[in-house]
Amino acid sequence: MKRSGTIIVLAVILASGCAHQKPRATAPPPAPKPAETVERGKTEKGLASWYGEPYHGRRTASGEIYDMHEMTAAHRTLEFGTVVKVTRRDTGSDVKVRVNDRGPFIKGRIIDLSFAAAKKIGLDIDGVAPVKVVVIGFDETPKKNATGKVRAAEHPAGEDCFWVQVGAFSSMDNARRAEQRLESAGETAVIIEGPGGLHRVRVGPFDREKNARKALHRVLPHWPAAALVPCG
């Protein structure tokens, strides 16, 4: 009987011990999605600049291919995909861009705009301007070209990509007049900053050399110095 009683006491102790065991650890909660970490309304003030060639067509820090004709920007710390509103504090003009790259790395500058974004607020002319940057949302999906045309940055390596360069002008006013004439003739023209302060006026880009040559033949009667140049 004494042995039987001992067994019962041990059984009770074991049962009591199991009842007080700590619950099994649960899996940690999933990490928040980037969209949930965006601090909407966050504001910065400083200088903005812009970048175009020779970065056009190269891979950005986010892994995307940089297209200077899309509304994007480089920022040192904001999550890739963050959408910000950039407002010039001297003129009040603004533009919305999506962060997909890192930079700028010059003291005092807080954001580097793409050429297209810079052009929208006149920064392509001034080069540097005081701005206010406000976080307004998140969009992790790169924007597609609304016109449906294939841009230089969208070409897989090894495929053709060409511009028709109409001319290089030391005067921005002359470059703009050339751009307007080309646009009036139905061409898609852009002004690209070049070395030495030159403003290169180009038509395109084209994803096939034959299409670029057709455009070259269209503009040659009015622009004898026009020439075919590769992208990049």
pTM: 0.51
Across all residues in the chain, what is the average pLDDT? 79
Q: 64: which DSSP letter?
A: S
The whole-number pLDDT of residue 80 equals: 92
Q: Write out the two tokens for 88.
A: 């010039």
Residues of the chain with pLDDT under 50: 18-20, 22-25, 144-159
The whole-number pLDDT of residue 189 equals: 82
How far is residue 95's CA from residue 117's CA, in Å, rounded to a whole number? 7
**Contacts of range 77-80, beta carbons closer than 8 Å, 24 or more positions apart:** 78/135, 79/34, 79/37, 79/38, 79/138, 80/34, 80/140
The whole-number pLDDT of residue 172 equals: 86
Look at the alpha carbons of 207, 208, 209, 215 in this order and tell me if their dihedral is positive or negative. negative
- Return the closest-CA partner of residue 103 out of 40, 44, 49: 49
36-47 pLDDT, tens digit each: 677 899 999 988
- Residue that the structure tokens 């041990």 belong to: 10
How far is residue 205's CA from residue 11's CA, in Å, rounded to a whole number? 83
The whole-number pLDDT of residue 147 equals: 37
Q: 96: which DSSP letter?
A: E
